Amino acid sequence: MIIVIRPDASKEQLTLFKAALEERYNVTVNTWVGVESTVLGLIGDTVQIDEDWVNAQEFVESVKRVQEPYKKANRKFHPDNTVIELPTGQKIGDGSLYIMAGPCSVETEEQINYVARRVKAAGASFLRGGAFKPRTSPYSFQGLKAEGLDLLKGARKETGLPIVTEIMRTSHIDMFESVDIIQVGARNMQNFELLKELGKINKPILLKRGLSSTIEEWIMSAEYIMAGGNEQVILCERGIRTYETATRNTLDLSAVPIIKKLSHLPVIVDPSHATGKAWLVEQMSLAAVAAGADGLMIEVHNDPKHALSDGAQSLTPDQFDRAAKKIFALKKAYDEIVNEQD
Ligand code: PEP
Ligand code: MN
């Protein structure tokens, strides 16, 4: 961290400030005294330094971090990829491509079981489905809640597919005990109390990118979970809000290689919420594979026209079949072209 001190700072202010930094944060402070200003270079673990506190000192002109504000999620301190291994055998982040597929919302037993069977047959490794739904309107379907969780568990029993579903509040953590991967939705990406509690459990967390979050803010949310001890975090790019109206959100595919550079955590892509349009899902899935994603989350509904949520972006099982074939074929080619020639 570099701190520029104003030219009118007194010697005493500077001495006290340096001592405070060294004592509070256990860093070494190097000082360069120039004609116009004095520059402090902090060496050590600067992650915990509160920039606001530094900026609040009246003699500080500017502060610049030269190191990322996150540590546990940082590839610099953990060069190898994190591989999240599930008791059911899937290893997310091991270089293979995992597809999580299923309806936006769990609606009925027949629906979830049918979709689960179909997505499994097409090659999906996980069943997704919302039981607690964060809807933009309070008048929209809010999910089947606990009953939805039970239906998901029933579909898991039928098919053997592990389940991924969204949690909305800390008081539900016990209820999610037997969920295989707990999803934190875009709207809760910065619900820090929820993230802290999820940091205390021993279960993979799928952390979606917030609607208007920067990549750094998103990694900081992963850091919240990891700081509590739970290092099994999977990041999910699901599009961000921009001025573009042709799609529901704007899919930021560059986030995939950027995350891979900055962090060791696996990253998957959700082209359904990113585009909001079923006809774009296949092509954006293929693009996500080419961007190096570890997996995909795709909404599939038995009858999209009558879906209780997100019908317009849901594939039919037949469409999913066709898309999955191309996705796995492209992944094979990608591994041959990109991975094996590196
Ligand atoms: C979902 O997965 O159904 C969902 C609500 O996603 P997001 O949080 O990305 O909007
Ligand atoms: Mn949805």
The number of the ligand nearest the C-alpha atom of 299 reads 2
CA of residue 96 to ligand 2 center, whole Å: 25
What's the pLDDT tens digit per position in 201-226? 999 999 999 999 999 999 999 999 99
State the average pLDDT for the chain: 96
Q: Which residue is closest in CA terms to ligand 1's atom 9?
A: 186
Tell the residue number behind the tokens 């990694």, with chain if given.
Answer: 219
Protein residue with least CA distance to atom 10, ligand 1: 186
DSSP letters along 112-174, please? Answer: HHHHHHHHHHTT-SEEE-BSS---SSTTS----THHHHHHHHHHHHHH---EEEEE--GGGTG
Token pair for 237: 């790019």
Task: Name the residue of 166, 281, 300 to mutate for ligand 1: max ligand atoms within 8 A of Cβ.
Answer: 166
273 and 133 Cβ atoms separated by less than 8 Å = no
Which residues does ligand 1 sit against, CB inside 6 Å? 104, 130, 134, 185-187, 208, 238, 273
What phi and psi values does residue 166 have, to the nearest 5 degrees?
-85, 135
The per-residue pLDDT for range 67-121, each reduced to its tens digit, is: 899 999 999 999 999 999 999 999 999 999 999 999 999 999 999 999 999 999 9
Query: Across-strand partners of 101?
Result: 127, 298
